[in-house]
Amino acid sequence: MLFVDIRKQFRAAGSPPFLLDVRETFAPGFTVLFGPSGAGKSTLLDCISGLLRPDEGVIQWNGEYFFDAARRFSLPARLRRTAYVFQSLALFPHLSVEENVAYGLSALPSLERQERVERILPAFHIEALRRRKPGELSGGEKQRVALARSLVTQPQLQLLDEPLTGLDAALRQAILQDLRAWNAANRIPILYVTHNREEVDAIGERVVALINGRVQESGTPRAVLDAPRSIALAQAAGFENLLYAHVVEQRPADGVMRVALASANCELEIPLGTVPPGAAVQVAIRAGDILLATEAPRALSARNVLPGTLETLEPRGSLVVAQVNAGARFIVHLTPGAVRSLQLVPGLRVWLVLKTHSCHVVLP
């Protein structure tokens, strides 16, 4: 168990002061640190690893102190037995893959060092690259080397700062597979920073959402990211639609309430919340959770059907982003196939279909 209870104040010229204030326990297994950039995720990892010294508080690993401000004690980073993969990876450019991987093993007798390197290289599929320098590796290969270099030391704590950013989905899945296998064999706390929802779903046993230096929420990925309770978190979690509204009436018997959108002459039925009628709220809806129809749909289980006009269509990677004006402006994600078969063009009259439970109340 890793216990962190720290505060660190940053004052830099030209930017508002930033306070990191975290109190959290990390159990063995994956914990995803999630939050917008600038939320303090990397700073938190720097404090845990010993690269930065907090102003106040304690960091404890299984009862052993890493840091204790009251005693002015800080265990040097090199003695914390922590593995830390930076976003930049920081492979040593003048050393070969093999030398990079063996770097953290200098205290071991050479036989054991050799043995450990021989074991980890195949586990991360980098045996064939052993004589290469980091400059001769692809992005995915570098990421594997960085992971192997940190895991070969048999750390008691693993910190991963967006280690898979910039890789394509297939490669990311393959490396995540390796990481999961490694985790199953060595249960230690792994703190994993990512913005990527896919990675969260693939590895997250638990998510800690960090906003503006503080832990906003923690729990399962579903609880934290699918029903965000703050606007900053909703934005970070990729809710493309955030609509201002106020509560019209509550229907506890049905477990729903009706809200009126501020900018539009329409109402939505959303899950019941502890918000009194008349109160202002925001409603968060994922662009991928909205259905689009070119005829008025009938006999549907979905409770919210809004007529509107298709304004723009913009291809983005493997999906098409549509903007629909239904009084309020909605972002809708479509597949290129759907755009073709429905013969969607800007100006077309369309209907938006929203399930009650795709709408989430976010408090301002």
Partner 1 sequence: MNSEALFLSFRLAAVVSAILLMLALPLAYWLAFTRWRGKFLLESVVALPLVLPPTVLGFYALIALGPRGPLGRLWLFLFGHTLAFTFAGLVIASLVYSLPFAVQPLIASFESLDRRLLDASSILGASRTRTFFRIILPLSWPGVITAVVLSFAHTLGEFGVVLMVGGNLPGITRTVSIDIYDRVQALDFAAANHMALLLLAISFVVLAVVYGMNRRVWLPWLAK
> Residue 215 corresponds to which tokens in the numbers above?
């832990």
Count of positions on this chain that bind partner 1 (CB under 8 A): 26
Minimum Å gap between C-beta 42 and partner 1 is 11
**Count of Cβ atoms closer than 10 Å to residue 134 Cβ:** 20
Query: Are 97 and 152 contacting, i.e. CB atoms less than 8 angstroms apart?
Result: no
Stretch binding partner 1 (CB under 8 A), from 17-25, 57-65, 87-95, 228-236: 87-95
100/282 with CB nearer partner 1: 100
Letters for 59-78 (x = contact with partner 1 by CB under 8 A, - = none) are -----------------xxx
Stretch that binds partner 1, among 44-52, 112-120, 258-266, 349-357 (CB under 8 A): 44-52
Q: Contacts with partner 1 in 117-176 (CB under 8 A)?
A: 133, 135, 149-150, 153
- Angle between helix 110-123 and 169-185 (nearest 10): 130
Question: Counting contacts by CB under 8 A, is residue 88 touching partner 1?
Answer: yes
CB of 181 to partner 1, least distance (A): 23
Residue range at the interface with partner 1 (CB under 8 A); choices 103-111, 112-120, 242-250, 346-354: 103-111
Q: Which of 48, 49, 47 is nearest to 10 (CA)?
A: 47
65: β partners: 60
Rounded-to-integer distance, Cα 305 and Cα 267, Å:
10
Rg (CA), the chain: 24
Measured from the CB atom, the residue of 70 and 79 that comes closer to partner 1 is: 79
83 binds partner 1 (CB under 8 A): yes
**Is the Cβ of residue 82 or residue 218 nearer to partner 1 in the bound state?**
82
Strand ranges in 41-162 using DSSP code E only, listed in sequence order: 56-61, 64-68, 73-74, 82-85, 157-161
Residue 49 beta carbon to partner 1: minimum distance, rounded to whole angstroms: 6
**DSSP per position, 16-57:** --EEEEEEEEE-SEEEEEE--TTSSHHHHHHHHHTSS--SEE
Residues 6+ apart with CB under 8 A from 16: none
13 binds partner 1 (CB under 8 A): no
* Contact status: 230 vs partner 1 (CB under 8 A): no
Among 6, 8, 20, 49, binds partner 1 (CB under 8 A): 49
Residues binding partner 1 (CB under 8 A): 49-51, 76-79, 81-84, 86, 88, 90, 92-94, 103-104, 106-107, 133, 135, 149-150, 153
